[in-house]
A = this chain, B = another copy of it.
C-alpha cells in the first residue's frame, strides 16, 4: 500500500464519487478538489478518482476494485433517504455483510429530534453495514461511516466537509509532499528537453510541466514535488541554472497555479 516514489512512505487513497447528476452534466462536482487538497496536506496521496452512477452493482464493483489497491477509499454521495440512494446497499454487497438499522444511528436521530417519531426517511438513513464505525454529521444528523478502509460520506459539499473533520484524525498520515512552482515565460516545447534531463537526474522529485496561455503570451509552470524539501531545492537550483543558460525569463510562482486543467 505504501510506496517510496517521492522519497517517503506514501499513504494512498482513492475517491469514488457517486452521482448520476455529475455524469449527466447537471451538477459540477465540487468535492474532488476539496478532498484532494485536504489529503495532500495530510500527506495522503490521492491516486485515483472515479465517478459512477447511482447503480448498486457499479458502486460495489468500483469499491471492491479500489479498496484492494489503495490504503483508503473515500466515497461521496448516495446515502440520503430516497430510492436513488443505493450506496449503503452497494457497500454491504461489496463487503458481503448485512445492512440493518443501527442503534447508534437511531440514537443520533432521537437525540437530534427528541419526541419526534422516526420517519421512514430517517430510518432509511440509519441503515448501516455491519461492522462499520459511524462518522459524525453535525450539519444534518444522518451519519456517514467507515468500514475497514472505506469511508462513506454524503455528497452535499457542506455535509461532506463536516464529515471530513471527523474522518481525518482517524486516518494514517504520510509525510506531506512539499511543492514549489517556477513560472517560465517560454512555451513548454522550449523547456521540454531541459526538464526531461532534470527529471532523470532527480528521480525522487516529481517534475510536472503545465502550459499556460495569457492573452498573447504563452508560458509554462514547472511544478516540483517531493516529501524532501532539500531534494526540491537542489532540483530548483539546477532548473534555474538551465533557464539562465537558455536566456529564459522565469520566477518562483505561487503554489496555486491554475483553476483549470
Q: Which residues of B contact A187 (CB under 8 A)?
A: 121
| B33-A25 in contact (CB<8A) | yes
Contact of A209 among B53, B82, B157, B158 (CB under 8 A): B82
Is A193 an interface residue, CB under 8 A from the partner? yes
How many of these chains are in the complex?
2
| Contact flags A24-45 to B (C-beta < 8 A → 1, else 0) | 1111111111111111100001
Contact of A36 among B22, B36, B156 (CB under 8 A): B22
Q: Which residues of B contact A38 (CB under 8 A)?
A: 25
Question: Which DSSP category, helix, strand, loop or mixed, fits chain A's interface?
Answer: mixed
Q: Which residues of B contact A103 (CB under 8 A)?
A: none
| B119-A84 in contact (CB<8A) | no
Extra inter-chain contacts (9) besides given A22-B49, A24-B46, CB under 8 Å: A21-B208, A24-B177, A25-B38, A27-B261, A28-B33, A29-B29, A29-B33, A29-B260, A119-B189
